[in-house]
Amino acid sequence: MAHSEGSTGLPSEPDLAADVVIIGSGATGLPAAIAAADAGASVLVVETNYDVGGHAILSGGNVPLGGGTSAQRKYGIEDSPDMVFYDLTDWSVVQVNGSPDYRYSDRAVIRAFADHCAETYEFLLANGVEFKEIPPDSSGAHSTGNSAPRENHAFWTHGAGLASPNGRPGTGFVRSLEAGAREKGVKFLLNYKMTGIIREGSADDGNGRVLGITAKYTPTVLPGNTTPLQSYRSKGNLNRTEANLTIRAGKAVIIGTGGSTSNVNFRRMFDPRLTDVYQVAGEPYTFQDASGELAAMAIGASLWGLANQTLENGDNIRVQRALGTRYNYFPWDLNSPIFPLVRAAGLAVKDWHDLILVNQVGQRFYDETKGDYPGGNKHKDIDPYTPGDHRNAHIEYDPHGSNFFNAAVAMNAGSKGPDYSGGPVWAIFDSDAVAREGWKVTPPHVDTDGYFFTGDTLAELAAAIENPWQAVPMTGAALEATVRRYNSFVDSGADEDFGKPAPKHKIQTPPFHAAWGTPLVHDSRAGLRINEKCQVLDMDGRVIPGLYCGGESAGGFNQHGMGRCAVQGYIAGKQAAAER
C-alpha cells in the first residue's frame, strides 16, 4: 500500500468511506458527483474550501458545449461530434502571434469530449442548470472551434437568493448542480484538504488499485474571528473537525482539484518567467495548488500536454483587469463573504486612454489599449475555412499579439537575482482620469497597503511606492520623464514609442495615483495524463486502477472554460461508478 506521503496500509476501519470519492467541488467535481450518484454509487466530495464551487463559481458562467445540443438545434445551428473533433484537432489554425490553438491536444481526449459534448449539455439541463435563452454564440469563447458557435451562458440574477463569493454568473451553474447533487444523496466534506492518495502495492508494479485518500482539516477563518466560515447549504455536509482523516474509496477516486496555477514552482516548470509577482485568478476564494497533480504523481502518474501551458493564446495569462488590488482578476463584490481576505474591490477600466502602464522603474513598455494574449479561435474567425487546409495558417502577423506580458516580464528593469522577476506593473493616472472613470480611490475600493499609492507630485508618488515585489525604488525623475514624454504624444497626436492610437489625455492634474496592474496567471492547460475514459495513466501509459481526473488538473486539452471540465467530470463520474 502506498500513498503520496510514503505510508503503508489503509486502516481496516477508515474514518469515512464511499464508493466514489471526489476531490474538488467545481466544474469537474459536481458533474462527476451527480453522474456517479445517478449510476447508483455512494459519493463523497472532499473540498478544501468552506463552500463549494472552486473557480467555476467565480467565473462568467460561459460553458462551451456543442456537437448538436438542443440549443444549437433550436436555433438552426449545424454541428456534430465529428465537427467538434475536427475543429479542436485542426493543426492549421494559428493565432496572429503564431501560437497554434489545437496542435498539441491529445486526440483521444478530444474525441471523448466531442462524443460527450451534447450529452453533457442535456445532462446539465436535466440537473437544474439554466442557460440564457439566446442562441449559442462566441462571446467569451477561447479555442472553441471555427465551424459553429458553441458558447452557452449560465443564467443567474444577482441577489436571486443564491449565495455567491463574488456575484458572477458562474454562481448559477454551480449552485444548481450543488442542489441537484445534495438531493441525490451526495455527501460533502468541506474544510478538508486532500494530502495523499492511497494506492495498493507500489507505484512501480503498475497493478495496484487506488483505495482512498488522506485529508487534513483546513477551516477558513476571517481576520478578527474565531468561527470558521460555513457553507451556503448544510444538507449532506459531514461536519467533521478531526485534524486528519483517512477516507476509503470502494470504487474510485476522481481528481477535480482545479489545476496548478497557484503553485509557483509547479507553474514555473512550464514557464520560468511566472515568478510569485504574478497573482492568480480566483484567489483568495480558491487556490489551484497542484495538489491533485502532485499526489497522483507520487503514486506514479504522468503529466501530459505540457506544450499547451506555454501557448500564448486564450486565458493562460490575463492582463489589465481590476486595478489597485492584489486579487485583480475582476472587481470584487463588497458584500462577498471573503471580502475581509480580499481587502479591496479594485477599479474596472472603461478607457485605457485614461492611464499609462509602467514597470517597476517607471518606464512605459507597451500600448495600453492592447491587452491579453490572442483570445483563441472561435466561430468564423477564419472565413472561408477549410478544415486542415494549410491556407488557414496564412495569418497577418500582429506584433502586438501577446507582447504585453512578454514586454512586462522581459524588460526586467531593476530586477534582482535569483529569479530576476519582471516586477510589478503600475497604472499611473491623475485626478482628471479618476473623474472621467468615476472611480472611488479610497478603501475598500483600493488597497492602500501596498497596491495603491497617491502623491501630490509625480516625484512624491514614485517615492511612496513600496510593495513586496518591488525590487528597487522607483525614482521621481524616471516617472516624471515618462509622463512628460507621454504628454508630448498627446500634444502631437502620435505615440512614437509604442503606437498607442491618438493618445487622448495628459497626466497633469494632482493628485497622482499608482495602482497595481500586474498581469495574473489564469488557466491550467497541462496536467495529468488521462485516456478517453478520464482514467489517469502512469509514466508507461498504463491505467492506474481506480484513479480518474478531469478539468484543469488533466492535460491534453487546450481550451479555456467550464465545458471541458463538465464533460470530463460527467465521463469520470459514470466510469468511476461502473468500477468493480
The domain locations on the chain are 17-313+532-577, 319-378+397-521
Which of the four pLDDT bands, split at 50, 70 and 90, describes residue 13? very high
Which of the four pLDDT bands, split at 50, 70 and 90, describes residue 85? very high
What is the C-alpha to C-alpha distance for residues 336 and 579, in angstroms, rounded to an integer?
40
In 3D space, the residue among 400, 261, 316, 397 whose CA is nearest the CA of residue 142 turns out to be 316
Fold (CATH) for 17-313+532-577: FAD/NAD(P)-binding domain (3.50.50)
Question: Could you read off the pLDDT of 481-517 as tens digits, one per residue?
Answer: 999 999 999 999 999 999 999 999 999 999 999 999 9
| Side-chain half-sphere exposure of 278, counting CA atoms within 13 A | 27
Question: Could you read off the pLDDT of 18-56 as tens digits, one per residue?
Answer: 999 999 999 999 999 999 999 999 999 999 999 999 999
What is the C-alpha to C-alpha distance for residues 182 and 275, in angstroms, rounded to an integer?
40
What is the C-alpha to C-alpha distance for residues 85 and 109, in angstroms, rounded to an integer?
10
CB neighbour list of residue 306: distance below 8 Å, 6 or more residues apart: 270, 526, 555
Report the pLDDT value the prediction gives residue 394, as an integer from 0 to 100: 87
CB 165 within 8 A of CB 156: no
Section 527-547 average pLDDT: 98
Which of the four pLDDT bands, split at 50, 70 and 90, describes residue 3? very low
Percentage above 70 pLDDT, the chain: 96
Section 427-441 average pLDDT: 98
* Average pLDDT score over the chain: 93
Give φ, ψ of 107 to 5 degrees.
-65, -40
- The residues with which 44 forms a beta bridge, in sequence order, are 21, 187
CB neighbour list of residue 569: distance below 8 Å, 6 or more residues apart: 27, 28, 29, 30, 31, 32, 35, 254, 256, 550, 551
Section 295-302 average pLDDT: 98
CB 166 within 8 A of CB 58: yes
Which of the four pLDDT bands, split at 50, 70 and 90, describes residue 9? low
Report the pLDDT value the prediction gives residue 442, as an integer from 0 to 100: 98
Report the pLDDT value the prediction gives residue 561, as an integer from 0 to 100: 87
CB 234 within 8 A of CB 51: no
Q: Is the pLDDT of residue 230 over 70?
A: yes
Give, for 574, the enclosing helix (H) or strand (E): helix 562-577
Beta strands 512-516 and 426-430 are antiparallel
Percentage above 90 pLDDT, the chain: 83
Judge if 17-313+532-577 and 319-378+397-521 fold alike in CATH terms: no
What is the C-alpha to C-alpha distance for residues 262 and 276, in angstroms, rounded to an integer?
9
Report the pLDDT value the prediction gives residue 316, as an integer from 0 to 100: 81
In 3D space, the residue among 313, 345, 341 whose CA is nearest the CA of residue 332 turns out to be 345
Section 212-236 average pLDDT: 94
What is the C-alpha to C-alpha distance for residues 496 and 388, in angstroms, rounded to an integer?
40
Interior CA angle at 86 toward 81 and 92, to 5°?
160
What is the C-alpha to C-alpha distance for residues 542 and 301, in angstroms, rounded to an integer?
9
Section 189-207 average pLDDT: 88
Query: Between residues 204 and 117, which one has the greater pLDDT?
Result: 117
Report the pLDDT value the prediction gives residue 371, as an integer from 0 to 100: 75
CB neighbour list of residue 491: distance below 8 Å, 6 or more residues apart: none
Give φ, ψ of 393 to 5 degrees.
-85, 5
Question: Could you read off the pLDDT of 404-413 as tens digits, one per residue?
Answer: 677 766 666 8
Section 520-531 average pLDDT: 95
The cell for 123 is 445532462
Question: Could you read off the pLDDT of 257-281 as tens digits, one per residue?
Answer: 999 999 999 999 999 989 999 999 9
Which of the four pLDDT bands, split at 50, 70 and 90, describes residue 205? confident
What is the C-alpha to C-alpha distance for residues 49 and 108, in angstroms, rounded to an integer?
33
Which of the four pLDDT bands, split at 50, 70 and 90, describes residue 2? very low
The DSSP call for residue 333 is P
- The residues with which 538 forms a beta bridge, in sequence order, are 301
| Runs of H (alpha helix) within 299-450 | 307-310, 339-342, 403-410, 431-437
CB neighbour list of residue 438: distance below 8 Å, 6 or more residues apart: none
Query: Between residues 527 and 318, which one has the greater pLDDT?
Result: 527
Beta strands 43-47 and 16-23 are parallel
Q: Is the pLDDT of residue 203 over 70?
A: no
What is the C-alpha to C-alpha distance for residues 435 and 533, in angstroms, rounded to an integer?
55
The cell for 179 is 442542489
CB 209 within 8 A of CB 245: no
Class of domain 319-378+397-521: alpha beta
DSSP 448-507: TTTSEEEESSHHHHHHH---TT--SPPPHHHHHHHHHHHHHHHHHT--TTT--SS-----
Cis? peptide before 384, omega within 30° of 0? yes
Give pTM, 2 decimals.
0.96
Burial class (CB in 10 A: 0-12, 13-18, 19+), 525: buried
Say how many residues make up the chain.
580
Lowest pLDDT segment from 2-11, 22-31, 124-133, 312-321: 2-11
Question: Could you read off the pLDDT of 336-385 as tens digits, one per residue?
Answer: 999 999 999 999 999 999 999 999 999 998 899 987 788 899 999 999 99
Highest mean pLDDT among 272-281, 389-398, 537-546: 537-546
The cell for 29 is 467535481
Q: Is the pLDDT of residue 8 over 70?
A: no
DSSP 75-141: TT----HHHHHHHTT-TT-B-TTS-BSSTTS-HHHHHHHHHHHHHHHHHHHHTT--B-SS--B-TT-
Question: Could you read off the pLDDT of 243-256 as tens digits, one per residue?
Answer: 999 999 999 999 99
What is the C-alpha to C-alpha distance for residues 252 and 39, in angstroms, rounded to an integer?
13
